[in-house]
Amino acid sequence: MDRSHSSPFGSDPHDPKDANGRETANWEAAGYRIPILYEDNHVLVVVKPPGLLSQGDDTGRPNLLDILKERRKVRERKPGRAYLALLHRLDRQVGGVLAFAKTSKAAARLFAAIRQRRWEKGYLAVVVGLPQPEKGTLRHALRKIPGKPRVRLVDPEDPAGKEAVLTYETLKYADGLSLLHVRLVTGRPHQIRVQLATLGTPIWGDHVYGRRTDRKREKAPDEIPIGLWAAYLSFAHPTTGEPLEFVALPPREAPWTHFPRLRDVVESFVRHP
């Protein structure tokens, strides 16, 4: 993949751009500002704000997929329902780069690329404590807990277990917290959260798999952002085969403010994802 591009950030490093430094637009709906990183007739790539569902659930709360379908319907003056396929998802408390397909043909090709593990996804994670070892590969089997929005570790021989593999590397340590670069090999629900917790270093703010914090519980627990951010995504364009790369920085708020120079960290993802 050609990585001979300029810096992926402009004058404000917290304004998300694609990995070639192209400016983003924004779409505002349901009280959320949604940066648009890239869009053509086949693909749409955005930055999901923390606190917003990736897709609808039985609560009827606002979700990114429906918001972007309505955006497409309005912008393209489409009668009836507008097609848009969510290619992967982020937990409600997690923000970062998220991709959609705008045609069924593009969706089929991109889903195939995901199954063949031809996508590259890099995450930033802030965990409580210092992982031991400080870098490595985690392999587990995960199983959804019936009737609950969470998963658990199971024996690898469990027929209902799904293989979960990731790599992690500790980048910085400050104030009792570690900043990790996490790469997903598989993409299971809650995978990063539960696997990092097995090291005794749960993700900051994760009340499900980790420790409760002293933050005020003025919102429902799944509305409060946690220390996990989808910072990097790359894949081949479904029609042209062109390599596409996208990066975005987390917001300037806890826990990310414990680690200055995040711009340099994320730029390194582009060079060495």
Within-domain flag for 11 = no
Convert the pLDDT of each residue in 193-216 to its tens digit.
Answer: 999 999 999 999 999 998 755 444
Q: In this structure, what CATH number is given to the domain that contains residue 80?
A: 3.30.2350.10
Within-domain flag for 7 = no
Q: Among candidates 25, 233, 32, 45, which has minimal Cα distance to 124?
A: 233
Convert the pLDDT of each residue in 52-105 to its tens digit.
Answer: 999 988 777 899 999 999 999 998 888 788 999 999 999 999 999 999 999 999
What is the percent of the chain with per-residue pLDDT over 90, rounded to a whole number?
Answer: 67
Average pLDDT across the chain, whole number: 86
Distances (CA, A) of 174 to 125, 128, 179, 185: 13, 10, 8, 27
* pTM (2 d.p.): 0.86
Q: Which one is predicted more confidently, 162 or 21?
A: 162
Average pLDDT rounded to a whole number, residues 133-140: 98
The whole-number pLDDT of residue 220 equals 54
Instruction: Tell me the sheet residues that pair with 48.
Output: 96
Within-domain flag for 63 = yes
Within-domain flag for 52 = yes
Q: Half-sphere exposure of 185 toward its Cβ, with a 13 Å CA cutoff? A: 13
Within-domain flag for 153 = yes
Within-domain flag for 191 = yes
pLDDT of residue 9 exceeding 70, the answer is: no
Average pLDDT rounded to a whole number, residues 133-142: 97
pLDDT of residue 187 exceeding 90, the answer is: no
Q: CA geometry: angle at 51 spanning 48 and 55, to 5°? A: 60
Q: Which of 126-130, 163-167, 263-267 has the lowest mean pLDDT?
A: 263-267
Within-domain flag for 71 = yes
Determine the structural domain holding residue 249 and report its residue range.
Answer: 17-271
Task: Let me know if 91 is a catalytic residue.
Answer: yes
Q: Which one is predicted more confidently, 18 or 129?
A: 129
The one catalytic residue among 91, 158, 175, 264? 91
pLDDT of residue 8 exceeding 70, the answer is: no
Within-domain flag for 5 = no
The whole-number pLDDT of residue 148 equals 84
Domain count across the chain: 1
The whole-number pLDDT of residue 77 equals 86
Encode burial over 108-142: b for 16+ CB neighbours within 10 A, e otherwise.
ebbeeebeeeebbbbbbbbbbeebeeeeeebebbb
The whole-number pLDDT of residue 149 equals 82
Average pLDDT rounded to a whole number, residues 188-193: 94
